[in-house]
Amino acid sequence: DVKVTQSSRYLVKRTGEKVFLECVQDMDHENMFWYRQDPGLGLRLIYFSYDVKMKEKGDIPEGYSVSREKKERFSLILESASTNQTSMYLCASNTGSGNTIYFGEGSWLTVV
Amino acid sequence: DQQVKQNSPSLSVQEGRISILNCDYTNSMFDYFLWYKKYPAEGPTFLISISSIKDKNEDGRFTVFLNKSAKHLSLHIVPSQPGDSAVYFCAARFQGAQKLVFGQGTRLTINP
């Protein structure tokens, strides 16, 4: 089974703090993704990466950056957290030729 | 601009009956469609998918129908069970791309 692991399930951070969300997959997938889920808005793509050190902006990249130094690890960075970044963050991965993407369990971030 | 739309935020169905979840899309360049199921505080899990060259795909109690001329797809669950209560997301993929575009989700509640 594909395993996508998000290290932090629940975080509470203060406005202006730098936040790191870490994601690791164990299936040697080329592609990795960060989505956020908000009520009524569904899942929106923040960034994705198709190879080590490669990244592309998704639909809502403002206020976020990413890092992919190793194939199995994809980090989402909030340089200066704001209250409108309070959300559930979902990491996902798939192969270069895959049709389905596989999600981690999600990280609930609250910014106060 | 919401390219994938789920216009019903919620749906309530009696146990044993058929559940029908609907999804509309606007872009004819989508070539692959998926349904994901999500329980609270968990990541979405893949349920069923369909290629744009087909009009129906069935997997046990789950059937997805695709009407390309209407740019509409639907998920049928027969018979509905209490464990089917979850949020269902419709997703679409552009030809040649890996990222998915998601709808807003429909919360399905199965009543005993």
Q: Is the pLDDT of residue A4 over 80?
A: yes
What is the mean predicted confidence (pLDDT) over A3-15?
94
**Tens-place pLDDT, residues A23-55:** 999 999 999 999 999 988 999 999 999 999 899
CA-to-CA dists, residue B30 to A22, B34, B63, angstroms: 30, 11, 19
- Per-residue pLDDT, B23: 98
Residue A66 near residue A57, CB atoms below 8 Å:
no
Dist CA B100 CA B49 (whole Å):
12
Average pLDDT over residues B67-85: 97
Rg (CA), chain B: 13
Closest CB to B98 among A31, A41, A102:
A31
What are B6's two structure tokens? 């789920």
Query: Closest Cα partner for B64 from B34, B31, B87?
Result: B34
What mean pLDDT, rounded, does chain A reach? 94
Is the CB of B42 inside 8 Å of chain A's CB atoms?
yes
Express each pLDDT in B39-68 by its tens digit.
Answer: 998 999 999 999 999 999 999 999 999 999
Residues A78, A16 contacting (CB under 8 angstroms): no
* Per-residue pLDDT at A35: 97
Cβ of B45 under 8 Å from any chain A Cβ?
A: yes
Write out the two tokens for B54: 């087909």
Contact (CB, 8 A) for A59 and A44: yes
Mean pLDDT in residue range A4-28? 95
How much of chain A, in percent, has pLDDT values that exceed 90? 87
Residue of A nearest to B1 (CA): A59
Helix then strand then coil, in percent of chain A rounded to 5, is: 5, 55, 40
Q: Identify the residue with better confidence: A8 or B65.
A: B65
Least CB–CB distance from A106: residue in B9, B42, B105: B42
B100, B101, B107: which to substitute to probe chain A, counting the most A Cβ within 10 Å? Answer: B100
Q: Are B77 and B84 in contact (CB under 8 A)?
A: yes
Average pLDDT over residues A56-75: 96
pLDDT given for residue A109 in this prediction: 97
Q: Number of A:B CB contacts under 8 A?
A: 55
